[in-house]
């Protein structure tokens, strides 16, 4: 078989290249999509009531690596993400104020203006971190008809009930509601009620709201007509409906941060499978949290950590991406500025090493294939990004041509997305410019000295020497200036 183009689709390397931890089975398993060669992937998007903190972005970075790795090993991926612009209450257990409404009051904006502003801010942060925008991005407020349809079917099938003006999902109708957790049921139920009063409309403490018409917050800004009265959807229903709207009845991978596993994803599974009458999603990918030294990061904590804050302190956002890739997504990660400084040193050293590679020469195809496979083996082991980085360092040390090294690094960066070649080449060009400038300034100074010594022949010779290099000089009242003329 002919070698694939670098990083291109290669049918032969596609199968069984990825073993992935599945929260549903609590095991690392070979990843096998339902339809050969195609992956249907869904990601819980941001709740756009504030900037994303760098903890949220850890989840999106690691999900981006997963998506890009799937593409790298040849899969045709369709990825969908929602934007939560309604229904996510301050407690994940359906109580408290709508986060969007709270944000709108804080900023004296309408909910829609708030959503627009923070959706843009989210994608701008993602762009700085080289996170690819999913193929489909859908705000919840676009899909009210779909929510109403799913809730209607759930009521018809007996999985939901109306109480006190709201529609609830009846978790007692399921044989096993706690599919995503090995924790004791009582503990989890307590988690749902944590710090908030119990909703007496619920038949079971784990039941959750599908549609609100009666909430404590009468000033809810966005409301829609429905068969159950004017109201708004619960948070969980949006992900099930948006996924099915764009990906149909089957999903291969569903992603999110670990806090989403319960109750959000547990509720998504409950309502989706009750609606469909069959299994919905095969693999659940959860990213462990980024914590700061005081504990979990939160948008409600005053000066929380954002990409802009890191930038204002002089950090390249891609240094934060490297910091995330240095750890496994299934381990909690603690953020400190010292740790980020170490990542910055590592990033700059890496770029300097890549910059020192010669660009010309031939790529050794056999070595390229061998190291490409080593990278696939590393990442294929449950998205072990730190092993992937080790393979990259191995390449830099290997006894192979510089051109092969550069080709491999460019190839790996399709997954790592650290902007490695671009950064190395940009710095190189600047270095050349600096060198050129230093040279021209030195020759101008030498010409001035020659003129002062009345050695006009030497001064003219310097002018000619520069002209031969495409550099024109001109004497002005402010001194001698120069420009490149070719
Ligand atoms: P939100 O905007 O609150 O809906 O959260 C967006 C995404 O960030 C979800 O997938 C959350 O599970 C995830 N997330 C929230 N906090 C953290 C954290 N500290 N570390 C990693 N991911 C998080
Ligand atoms: Zn979701």
Helix axes 235-247, 144-156, angle to 10 degrees: 100
Rg, Å, the chain Cα set: 28
CA 457 to chain centre: 63
pLDDT of residue 174: 96
Instruction: Give domain status of residue 64, yes or no.
Output: yes
Which of the listed residues 49, 59, 139 should we mutate to test ligand 1's pocket, taking the one with most ligand atoms within 8 A of CB? Answer: 59
CATH number for the domain that contains residue 188: 3.40.50.620
pLDDT of residue 302: 66
Q: Which ligand is nearest to the CA of 82?
A: 2
Q: Which protein residues are within 6 Å of ligand 1, measured from CB?
A: 44, 46-47, 55-56, 58-59, 84, 256-257, 259-260, 287, 289-290, 296-297
| Cα of 390 from ligand 2 centre, angstroms | 33
Q: Which ligand is nearest to the CA of 330?
A: 1
Q: Mind listing the pLDDT tens digit of every residue in the chain (486 residues)?
A: 333 333 333 444 455 799 999 999 999 999 999 999 999 999 999 999 999 999 999 999 999 999 999 999 999 999 999 999 987 887 767 777 788 888 888 989 998 999 999 999 999 999 999 999 999 999 999 999 999 999 999 999 999 999 999 999 999 999 999 898 755 555 555 444 454 567 889 999 999 999 999 876 666 788 999 999 999 999 999 999 999 999 999 999 999 999 999 999 999 999 999 999 999 999 999 999 999 988 878 776 667 899 999 999 999 999 999 999 999 999 999 999 999 999 999 999 999 999 999 999 999 999 999 999 999 999 999 999 999 999 999 999 999 999 999 999 999 999 999 999 999 999 656 556 777 878 888 899 999 999 999 999 999 999 988 887 778 888 877 678 888 775
* Closest atom of ligand 1 relative to the 258 alpha carbon: 12
Residue 95: its pLDDT value, please? 72
Find the helix or strand (DSSP H, E) in which 290 lies. Answer: strand 290-292
What is the 200 CA–ligand 2 centroid distance (Å)? 25
- Give the sign of the dihedral formed by CA 313, CA 316, CA 321, CA 324: negative
Based on the fold, state whether residues 29 and 144 are members of the same structural domain. yes
What is the C-alpha separation between 30 and 375, in angstroms, rounded?
A: 17
In a domain, 396, yes or no: yes
Element of type H or E holding 188: helix 185-193
Q: Determine the Cα–Cα distance for residues 249 and 42; give it in Å rounded to an integer.
A: 12
Q: Which tokens hold the place of 339?
A: 């740790």
Could you count the other beta carbons within 10 Å of the beta carbon of residue 285? 23
Question: Is residue 306 in some structural domain?
Answer: no
DSSP 350-407: HHHHHHTS-S-S---HHHHHHHHHHHHHHHHBTS-HHHHHHHHHHHHHSSS-HHHHHH
**Which atom of ligand 1 lies nearest, measured to the CA of 52?**
2
- Given this model, what pLDDT does residue 479 score? 79
Position in ligand 1 atom list of the atom nearest CA 84: 4
Residues 134 and 216 both lie in one domain = yes
Give the pLDDT confidence score for residue 100 in this predicted structure. Answer: 86
Q: How is residue 399 written in tokens?
A: 């006894």
Cβ atoms < 10 Å from Cβ of 113:
12
Q: Are residues 456 and 346 in the same domain?
A: no
- Which among 376, 400, 425 is the end of a domain? 425
- 3 state DSSP class of 51: coil
Contact 181, 261 (CB under 8 A): yes
Pocket test for ligand 1, best of 259, 284, 298, 299 (most atoms within 8 A of CB): 259
- The encoded tokens of residue 128 equal 């700085």
Of all protein residues, the one whose alpha carbon is nearest to atom 14 of ligand 1 is 56
Which atom of ligand 1 lies closest to the CA of 257? 12
Alpha-carbon distance 299 to 103, whole Å? 11
The answer to whether residues 419 and 441 belong to one domain is no
Pair (414, 456) in one structural domain: no
What is the 338 CA–ligand 2 centroid distance (Å)? 33
Residue of 364, 357, 363 whose CA lies nearest to 396: 357
Q: Is residue 297 part of a domain?
A: no
Task: Report which ligand 1 atom has the smallest distance to the Cα of 48.
Answer: 2
- The CA 385 to ligand 1 mean position distance, Å, reads 20
Q: Are residues 172 and 316 in the same domain?
A: no
397 shares its domain with 467: no
User: Which ligand approaches the C-alpha of residue 300 most closely?
Assistant: 1
Q: Is residue 3 included in any domain, yes or no?
A: no
Rounded Cα gap, residues 279 and 249, in angstroms: 9
Residue 397 inside a domain? The answer is: yes
Query: Does residue 405 lie in a domain region?
Result: yes
Residue 267 sits in the same domain as residue 395: no
Query: Which residue CA neighbors atom 7 of ligand 1 most closely?
Result: 56
Query: pTM of the full predicted structure?
Result: 0.85
In this structure, which residues have their CB less than 5 angstroms from ion ligand 2?
44, 239
Question: Which ligand is located closest to the Cα atom of residue 292?
Answer: 1
Residue 7's pLDDT is what? 37
Closest alpha carbon to 375 in 364, 365, 387, 366: 387
Give me the domain span that covers residue 468: 434-484
- Cβ atoms of 57 and 124 within 8 Å: the answer is no
| Cβ-contact 480, 474 below 8 angstroms | yes
How far, in Å, is the centroid of ligand 2 from the Cα of 148? 17
Span from the CA of 59 to the centroid of ligand 2 (angstroms): 13
Indicate whether 121 and 73 sit together in one domain.
yes
In this structure, the answer to whether residues 116 and 258 fall within a common structural domain is: yes
**Residue 193 pLDDT:** 44
Give the span between the Cα atoms of 280 and 274, in whole angstroms: 10
Query: Domains in the chain: how many in total?
Result: 3
């Amino acid at each position: 078989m002919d070698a694939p183009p670098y990083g291109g689709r290669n049918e032969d390397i596609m199968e069984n290249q990825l073993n992935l931890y599945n929260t549903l089975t609590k095991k690392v398993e070979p990843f096998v999509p339902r339809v050969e060669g195609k992956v249907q992937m869904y990601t819980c998007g941001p709740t756009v009531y504030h900037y994303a903190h760098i903890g949220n972005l850890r989840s999106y970075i690691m999900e981006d690596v997963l998506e890009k790795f799937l593409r790298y090993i040849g899969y045709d991926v369709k990825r969908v993400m929602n934007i939560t612009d309604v229904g996510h209450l301050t407690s994940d257990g359906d109580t408290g104020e709508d986060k969007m409404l709270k944000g709108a009051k804080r900023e004296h904006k309408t909910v829609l203006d708030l959503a627009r502003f923070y959706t843009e801010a989210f994608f701008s942060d993602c762009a700085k971190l080289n996170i690819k925008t999913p193929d489909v991005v859908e705000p919840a407020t676009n899909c009210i008809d779909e929510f109403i349809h799913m809730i209607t079917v759930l009521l018809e099938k007996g999985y939901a009930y109306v109480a006190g003006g709201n529609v609830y999902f009846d978790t007692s109708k399921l044989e096993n509601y706690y599919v995503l957790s090995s924790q004791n049921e009582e503990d989890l139920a307590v988690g749902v009620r944590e710090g908030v009063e119990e909703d007496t409309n619920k038949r079971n403490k784990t039941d959750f709201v599908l549609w609100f018409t009666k909430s404590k917050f009468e000033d809810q800004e966005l409301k829609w007509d429905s068969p159950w009265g004017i109201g708004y959807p619960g948070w969980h229903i949006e992900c099930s409906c948006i996924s099915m709207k764009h990906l149909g009845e089957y999903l291969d991978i569903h992603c999110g941060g670990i806090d989403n596993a319960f109750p959000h994803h547990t509720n998504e599974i409950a309502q989706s499978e009750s609606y469909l009458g069959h299994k919905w999603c095969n693999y659940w990918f959860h990213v462990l949290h980024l914590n700061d030294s005081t504990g979990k990061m939160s948008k409600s904590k005053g000066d929380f950590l954002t990409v802009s804050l890191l930038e204002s302190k002089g950090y390249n956002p891609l240094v934060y991406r490297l910091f995330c890739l240095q750890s496994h997504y299934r381990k909690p990660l603690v953020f400190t500025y010292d740790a980020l400084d170490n990542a910055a040193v590592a990033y700059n050293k890496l770029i300097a090493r890549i910059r020192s590679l010669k660009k010309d020469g031939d790529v050794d195809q056999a070595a390229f294939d061998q190291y490409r496979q080593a990278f696939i083996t590393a990442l294929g082991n449950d998205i072990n990004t730190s092993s992937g980085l080790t393979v990259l360092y191995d390449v830099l040390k290997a006894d192979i041509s510089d051109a092969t090294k550069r080709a491999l690094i460019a190839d790996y960066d399709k997954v790592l997305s650290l902007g490695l070649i671009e950064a190395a080449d940009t710095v190189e060009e600047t270095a050349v410019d600096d060198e050129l400038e230093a040279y021209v300034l030195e020759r101008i100074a030498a010409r001035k000295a020659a003129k002062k010594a009345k050695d006009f022949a030497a001064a003219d010779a310097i002018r000619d020497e520069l002209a031969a290099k495409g550099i024109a000089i001109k004497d002005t009242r402010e001194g001698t200036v120069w420009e490149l003329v070719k």
